[in-house]
Amino acid sequence: MKHFGNFVALIILAVNALFTGLLLFTAYSPHIQPVAHPVQSCLGLTFPIFLLINGCFLVFWLIIQRYRSALLPLMGFLLCYSQIRTYLPINFRTDNPPEGSFKLLSYNIMGFDGATRKDGKNPILTYLKESGADILCLQEYATGGSSHHLSQKDVNLELKAYPYHRIHTVGRGKGHTNRIACYSKFPILSARILNYPSEYNGSVIYEVKIGGDTLTLINNHLESNKLTKADKVVYEDMLKSPEKEKVKSGVRLLIRKLAEASAIRAPQADTIAHEIAASRHPYIIVCGDFNDTPISYAHHTISRQLNDAFTQSGRGLGISYNQNRFYFRIDNILTSRNLRTHNCTVDRSIKDSDHYPIWCYISGMKDEE
């Protein structure tokens, strides 16, 4: 009986080794070039699944007191510690951010939820007005043209505390347009759209004067995942009733769509990384809707010379997309390493867009006001 038990334990250990290998493969998948290998580059999406499975193996080995076997999943965790910390950081909050720090907020506002009014007010615009942020970076910015909808004049009036603002139309598609906006309490010295191919998405780079220093700020809305409403219904239906054929066809559809978008995002991320490397100013912030997870080529490439604010000062999963059961953090704030971030938060208090806003306090500029 003892020999049989050892044999079973050996089989389980072999399965554990397989899943530890898959964990490491997904953890390092951001190094895969999506243009050359679009499907494989999406494996980072499954990182939390293999992380959880390896956690279960670790608990199992500890319960049956096979401590040497427990070293296998533990070694897997150690080899991808930085990815675990990126995905699931644990930090303590600061009661009072340092004097002189400023607050930056990034938010995909989904066109102010159709630029609608509720009792004469727009909840997203009210949230922005009351946020206390010094810089607002907004994606999917849109206003309406009728008296029943939010106008540009309404926005400017509500956000009069931000005397400096720039609004750009991005993407090269015809008809349906997408705009990116930046509202700031600090002077915006210049702004230009980054040159990369996209039908609907884009990035804008600004020079912002803060005290005696100039900040390079890049506001992004990277390539969307091409999932239609029908595709999202397929995904939700697959989760509700995971029948074999339904799962097989649903997974095939999702992988194809996600892989196509990943391949388009890759050169966009490369362009942003080039702008970061070429910046004339030592202080850099990159933020916005990356449409990709923290374990992805886009995030890895853009953050190569930067710190992730949520990893440095946030805690938990920080899920920023709130629709269709796609539970991922796809909105980010990244800063140059000479800046410090405090209390980075994905704010779940407002649900009027399909994204939650992300904000943090930033300090470290020598001549902060």
Structure confidence by residue, pLDDT tens digits, 78-128: 999 999 999 999 999 988 899 999 999 999 999 998 888 777 789 999 999
Answer whether residue 368 shows pLDDT above 60: no
Beta bridge partners, 25, equal none
Q: Is residue 288 part of a domain?
A: yes
Final residue in a domain of this structure, among 87, 118, 148: 87
Q: For residue 120, what pLDDT is reported?
A: 76
Answer whether residue 243 shows pLDDT above 70: no
Report the percentage of the chain scoring pLDDT > 90: 75
Average pLDDT for 34-40: 95
Same domain, 78 and 138: no
Per-residue pLDDT of 247-286, as tens digits, reads 666 677 788 889 999 999 999 999 999 999 999 999 999 9
Q: Is residue 95 part of a domain?
A: no
Same domain, 72 and 177: no
Q: Is residue 352 part of a domain?
A: yes
Q: What CATH number corresponds to the domain at position 348?
A: 3.60.10.10
Beta bridge partners, 39, equal none
Same domain, 45 and 145: no
Q: Is residue 97 part of a domain?
A: no
| Residue 171 neighbours by CB under 8 Å, 6+ apart | 177, 178, 198, 199, 200, 201, 202
Final residue in a domain of this structure, among 61, 87, 113: 87
Final residue in a domain of this structure, among 87, 121, 150: 87
Q: Are 355 and 322 in contact (CB under 8 A)?
A: yes
Same domain, 49 and 165: no
Same domain, 179 and 323: yes
Same domain, 183 and 214: yes
Cα–Cα distances (Å) from 4 to 1, 7, 8, 10, 38, in that order, read 5, 5, 6, 10, 44
* Domain of 57, in residue numbers: 2-87
Tell me the pLDDT band of 228, cut-offs 50, 70 and 90.
Answer: low
> Two tokens at 286?
């990159």
Q: Is residue 369 part of a domain?
A: no
Give me the number of domains the chain comprises: 2
Q: How many residues does the chain have?
A: 369
Same domain, 317 and 270: yes
Q: Reading across the β-sheet that carries 283-289, which strands appear in turn?
A: 188-193, 202-210, 213-221, 283-289, 331-336, 306-308
Same domain, 305 and 354: yes
pTM for this model (two decimals): 0.92
Tell me the pLDDT band of 176, cut-offs 50, 70 and 90.
Answer: low
